[in-house]
Structure 1
């Protein structure tokens, strides 16, 4: 971890060290390293992490020419970087959870769709990652009430913005969705990176 941590600017290094559990520090660091690799692949310099700023909703950003987002769950970390679209991404490990805790997070139409599938738990996580991906792409996070953000369709209207959802079925036992400002018709470039 020390070898990779030297790539973090001081503020991020401090934030990494503030985590109580080493596993959380490691996830934070690896997420930032994925982001750095993605940004460098888009033509940014290797010290670009020091230029990241945060909006009033604590969403990180660089400039208007690039959009990025990081998510992690279980043993996996995923990062989306784009120079042509605004993006948000979410990954969740499909594991037992008390669905009644989420009653107020979904609309009646969403619950109806969730309950239609044979595997209720998997479908719940599919809808949860859809919702989270849109919230992250939009940039306001929980500034948007969850129940008011309906993700039944692959196009989601938030104010005047339309977000396009794409399922990424790349990991067994995980639900992953990406939201983007335009429909992604071509294949998404996926890379597994070992640090």
Structure 2
């Protein structure tokens, strides 16, 4: 099964009224999360991500899924829909972009804005091989963002959140935007996963990692969804 990747862009004009209408259509647990945001922009971005997920769920299972839909959270904080156990998804948002990935196994997606390298993070969170890749890249800031985004997507796919330190595994580039993730397991055997990064518009990076996926499972393109359509 091929991984599906979807994005939509943040609207230029939005309001508290529009946010309220959007939030009212979401599961209760999503509504409670969104209400905790202090800034309208952050709340609306989160609501848009949750709406994109429900839109894709409806595409797969029919237009009536929102009726009585339940959303729950694992002990590590990963959301899922108990009525649809085969619907593995993950969503992310940053700046002007919201993204969601679908797969038949656990998947992680991360969107990042490219920013100057933070030397403290580089030293504490990246392995020597990752630092070497970054420093030898034509654009070190973009390369650092690419590796960080890939690490975040693996953490999200693995499903343990902050219980999985980002320096406990290594992201290794294999060419053309593809990466292999290696992590030492408790048995001493390396656990491997694969990921791929995609440039969005200038200044943004999208990464996806899926457990059990092979290189051919990653799509060549990302599908753009019109915000008016999904809302």
Q: What TM-score, normalized by structure 2, do the two folds share?
A: 0.76
| Partner residue in 2 for 1:156 | 181
How well do the aligned residues superpose, as a CA RMSD in angstroms? 2.1
Matched, 1:176 2:181: no
How many aligned positions are there? 194
Secondary structure at the aligned position of 2:224 is classed as: coil
After superposition, residues 94-105 of structure 1 pair within 5 angstroms as 94-105=114-125
| Partner residue in 2 for 1:108 | 128
Q: Classify 1:20/1:185 alpha carbon distance in 2 versus 1 (closer, same or farther; 3 Å).
A: closer
Q: Which moved more, 1:39-48 or 1:65-74?
A: 39-48
Find the aligned partners of 1:189 and 1:118 in 2 and give their Cα distance. 24
Deviations 1:8-39, CA, capped at 9 Å, x for gaps:
12332222112111111101110100111111
After superposition, residues 56-135 of structure 1 pair within 5 angstroms as 56-63=75-82, 64-82=85-103, 84-135=104-155
Please tell me whether the aligned partners of residues 196 and 218 of structure 2 are also in contact (alpha carbons under 8 angstroms). Answer: no
Deviations 1:67-121, CA, capped at 9 Å, x for gaps:
1111111111111123x23211111011235233331101111111111112110
Q: Which moved more, 1:73-82 or 1:128-137?
A: 73-82
Matched, 1:145 2:165: yes
Higher relative contact order, structure no. (Cα contacts within 8 Å, ≥ 6 residues apart): 2
Q: Classify 1:54/1:185 alpha carbon distance in 2 versus 1 (closer, same or farther; 3 Å).
A: closer
After superposition, residues 5-20 of structure 1 pair within 5 angstroms as 5-20=23-38
Report how far residue 166 of structure 1 moved.
Answer: 1.2
Deviations 1:18-61, CA, capped at 9 Å, x for gaps:
21111111011101001111111121543178422111110112
Please tell me whether the aligned partners of residues 36 and 49 of structure 1 are also in contact (alpha carbons under 8 angstroms). Answer: no
Q: Which protein has the bigger strand share?
A: 2
- Residue 38 (structure 1) aligned to one of 42, 56, 61: 56
Secondary structure at the aligned position of 1:118 is classed as: coil
Q: What TM-score, normalized by structure 1, do the two folds share?
A: 0.89
Secondary structure at the aligned position of 1:147 is classed as: coil
For structure 1, which runs of at least 5 residues remain unmatched after alignment? none
Matched, 1:24 2:42: yes
